[in-house]
A and B are shown apart, each in its own frame.
Chain A
Amino acid sequence: MKDNNVLEAKNLVAGYTDLDILNGVSIELKEDEIVSIIGPNGAGKSTLLKSIFGILKPRKGKVIFKNEDITGLKPNKIVKKGMSYVPQDKNTFPSLSVRENLEMGAFIKEDGTKEKINEILTKFPDLKEKENQKVSKLSGGQRQMVAMGRAMMLDPDALLLDEPSAGLAPNLVDEVFQKIEKINKTGTPILVVEQNARKILSISERGYVLEMGENRLEGKGKELLNNEEVEKLYLGG
């Protein structure tokens, strides 16, 4: 083991059409870290997560997870390797109940699902009350909790979150960030894309700024918070 990288993307090139959206992006996620990715709309942040998780097949570059090359594997394989992903939107099954959503998160496991669901529901007490309600009836914040809970069902070795605070009321945003920290404290490294740069950088070990599908800046969370350029562009002076 040369370092404590859990997940590493090296020079990823990917896109939806002939056009490349990512032009060689590299990031690293180490054990116990929260790493954030910020950048303007359309920078390719979601595209990066999709390429890591096998939803898009990278044209060039490598994805290394737990010292294994997983480049180009399909999402269902990557889940089995121990990575979980919460997409930016449509990240729950709306006609299923909270409990059923969590159960689907553990689809590939044979047993122990009940105990795990109960464990997650105690971590998300709001959901406990609504465990048998359809997710479509929940608020945006609660739905985001369901999505994260679903992703935690397999005790992943890395968790990818795409804009978990998008569209939430300010008080809920704080709650979501607290949950992210809490999940991380239990030993799950998290790679998170966020618009809410100030908040996410303040809880991140490290952060990356993406622009036009390229690495623009990177550094410790606190350093980026104090970086003039970042301040001007994303933190709104």
Chain B
Amino acid sequence: MIQQLIFGIVTGSIIALGAIGLSMIYDILDLVNFAHGDFMTLGAYLTFLFNVSLNLNLILAAALGIILTGVISLILDKIMWKKLRDKGAGSITLLITAIGLALVIRNLIVFQWGGSNVGFDLPLSQNLNFHGIMISTSGVLTVVVAALLMIALDLILRKTKIGKAMRALSDNKNLARITGINVDNIILWTWGIGTSFAAVGGVLYGLNTVIRPDMGWFLLLPIFAAVILGGIGNPYGAMVGGLIIGISQEMSTIILPSSYKIAVSFVILILVMLIKPEGIFGEK
């Protein structure tokens, strides 16, 4: 029971890291980014590239991989999303485009690195054992990194001009324009923060398990559940939602076969959509 709770917190931290970006992008760009999970995968593979193929140490490799993933999302905004925005493309056009992008990213990964599992070059890690309850060092690292990033995001959103403008944009995009906020610029910041958080989540996932081309796809449904649960556009809600989904998934293995973990997030997703579509913290 406590063991599952611990697994749940680790999984939940990873889901939360994905959910934050998805939620902000969903809200600010009106884009249901079906490619978001694939950015997590991309972050993990780029880190793998620097770490294993180019022999850098893992921390440096992760930093490079994560930054590169963020930069790629900025380029994509310049060459794709901004063009669609300027044409006035609506949310469904954007959604279908995102699915196309997801196919491209995932299959470029398969093309480059093959379809089978890979792993980082890690020193053998020991599990910490507290009276029979196992915690892996990577699990501890995951929770610590996720917590630090969330604190950092909170500071950005509350203390910096960019962060406040992101919240303003999320409140009312038209008013933000009228006010003179540089909307395109804030959108780039949103992409940068959102995708690099996703990439961190992907790297942490790879640390805890393995790296696979479809890992992001399998994380996507729980991430959607976390986003809807927390309320679209609410990064704090996404954090809490991620933890709730992660913990529920792992707890469910006590009574259900573990292959149905993902069904648990699906059921939560549907219930929230039907009962409180604005999310548990939503006021609207």
Binding site for B on A (CB under 8 A): 53, 55, 74-76, 79-80, 85, 87, 90-96, 100, 103-105, 107-108, 136, 150, 154
Q: Is B171 an interface residue (CB 8 A)?
A: yes
Which B residues are CB-close (under 8 A) to A53? 178
Residue of A nearest to B169 (CB): A93
Partner of B175, one of A90, A100, A108: A90
B160-196 interface code vs A (CB 8 A; 1 in, 0 out): 0100110110111011111111110000000000000
Report Cα–Cα, A135/B171, bound state, in Å: 11
Residue of A nearest to B178 (CB): A75
Contact A100 B178 (CB under 8 A): no
Which A residues are CB-close (under 8 A) to B171? 93-96
Partner of B178, one of A85, A96, A103: A85
Report Cα–Cα, A34/B28, bound state, in Å: 36
Contact A76 B172 (CB under 8 A): no
Interface of chain A: mostly helix, strand, loop or mixed: loop
Contact A107 B167 (CB under 8 A): no
Given known contacts A87-B175, A87-B178, A103-B161, is B167 in contact with A76 (CB within 8 Å)?
no
Contact A79 B161 (CB under 8 A): no
Which B residues are CB-close (under 8 A) to A85? 178
Which A residues are CB-close (under 8 A) to B168? 93, 96, 100, 104
Report Cα–Cα, A100/B164, bound state, in Å: 7
Subset of 5 A-B contacts with CB under 8 Å = A75-B180, A96-B171, A104-B168, A107-B165, A136-B283
In whole Å, how far is B35's beta carbon from the nearest beta carbon of chain A? 28
Binding site for A on B (CB under 8 A): 161, 164-165, 167-168, 170-172, 174-183, 283
Report Cα–Cα, A48/B270, bound state, in Å: 44
Which A residues are CB-close (under 8 A) to B182? 76, 107-108
Q: How many residue pairs at the A-B interface have CB separations less than 8 Å?
A: 63
Report Cα–Cα, A169/B217, bound state, in Å: 53
Interface of chain B: mostly helix, strand, loop or mixed: helix
In whole Å, how far is A50's beta carbon from the nearest beta carbon of chain B? 10
Which A residues are CB-close (under 8 A) to B179? 79, 104-105, 107, 150
In whole Å, how far is B230's beta carbon from the nearest beta carbon of chain A? 14
In whole Å, how far is A154's beta carbon from the nearest beta carbon of chain B? 7
Report Cα–Cα, A232/B174, bound state, in Å: 37
Report Cα–Cα, A93/B176, bound state, in Å: 8
Partner of B180, one of A87, A90, A92, A108: A108
Residue of A nearest to B181 (CB): A107
Report Cα–Cα, A76/B181, bound state, in Å: 7
In whole Å, how far is A6's beta carbon from the nearest beta carbon of chain B? 19
Most central of B174, B177, B179, B283 by chain A CB within 10 Å? B179
Given known contacts A87-B175, A90-B172, A90-B175, is B180 in contact with A96 (CB within 8 Å)?
no
Contact A76 B180 (CB under 8 A): yes
Report Cα–Cα, A94/B63, bound state, in Å: 36
Given known contacts A76-B182, A80-B180, A154-B180, is B164 in contact with A96 (CB within 8 Å)?
yes
In whole Å, how far is A103's beta carbon from the nearest beta carbon of chain B? 6
Given known contacts A90-B172, A93-B172, A96-B167, is B161 in contact with A107 (CB within 8 Å)?
yes
- In the complex, besides A107-B165, A107-B180, A108-B180, 13 extra interface pairs with C-beta distance below 8 angstroms are A53-B178, A55-B174, A55-B178, A76-B183, A79-B180, A90-B172, A93-B172, A94-B172, A96-B164, A100-B164, A104-B176, A105-B179, A154-B180
Which A residues are CB-close (under 8 A) to B161? 103, 107
Report Cα–Cα, A96/B172, bound state, in Å: 11
Which A residues are CB-close (under 8 A) to B181? 76, 104, 107
State the 5 A-B residue pairs at the shortest beta-carbon distance, nearest first: A79-B180, A93-B171, A108-B180, A93-B168, A107-B181
Which B residues are CB-close (under 8 A) to A96? 164, 167-168, 171
Contact B177 A75 (CB under 8 A): yes
